[in-house]
Amino acid sequence: MPRHPRKRDFPVAQVRRYLEPGPILLISSRWRGQANVMTLGWHTVLEFAPSLVGLMISAGNHSFRMIRESRECVINLPTTALTDTVVRIGNTTGAEIDKFATFGLTPEEATEVSAPLIRECHASFECRLHDAALVNRYNFFIFQVVKAHVAPTPKRPETLHYTGEGVFMVAGRTISRRAMFRPEILD
């Protein structure tokens, strides 16, 4: 895999291809001139169109206030090529260090939001806050993906799926059962 995947525009209604399998994500944010990035494993797709995703962002994270106040973020998909970087991001805080500089990540300008894309990630989804109804009770943010950038190959890269206890499962091998599906539910 290239160190810097070349991403292209991707349909926002199809981001489930990358999010529904449940990979660990890198959430980037920018607020008052500072950029930050955190790891996130607690997320779900909620709707195809508008393209909605739910993120549970623990209030203990430095990113929490940045995201709540800026009402924006970018969801970035790291592959196994970034395993150690993912762990380091998850074990440090943006209150103490500049994670982009410290971990050699390249911020790139997004199109629709001020939060940066992470060049080294396979995919980046620009998000605007859609519904904050459950933020106070559960730290649960509903975002709309307003712009998606995805490296065309590989179509399904090897991703990290966190189990707790410092252990990730790796998803990469695929099984197709397309022939068994009713055509109307294939999308």
Surface-to-core class of residue 93, CB atoms within 10 Å of its CB (0-12 exposed, 13-18 middle, 19+ buried)? middle
Stretch that binds a second copy, among 4-12, 18-26, 64-72, 98-106 (CB under 8 A): 18-26
Site for a second copy in 135-174 (CB under 8 A): 137-138, 140, 142, 156, 159-174
Is the separation of the CB atoms in 12 and 126 below 8 Å?
A: no
Binding mask 65-84 for a second copy (x = CB under 8 A): ---------------x--xx
Does residue number 13 form part of the binding site for a second copy (CB under 8 A)? Answer: no
Burial track 111-120 (b if 16+ CB lie within 10 A, e otherwise): eebebbbbbb
Binding-site ranges for a second copy (CB under 8 A): 14, 16-18, 20-23, 41-47, 52, 54, 56, 80, 83-84, 87-88, 90-91, 131, 133-134, 137-138, 140, 142, 156, 159-182, 185-187
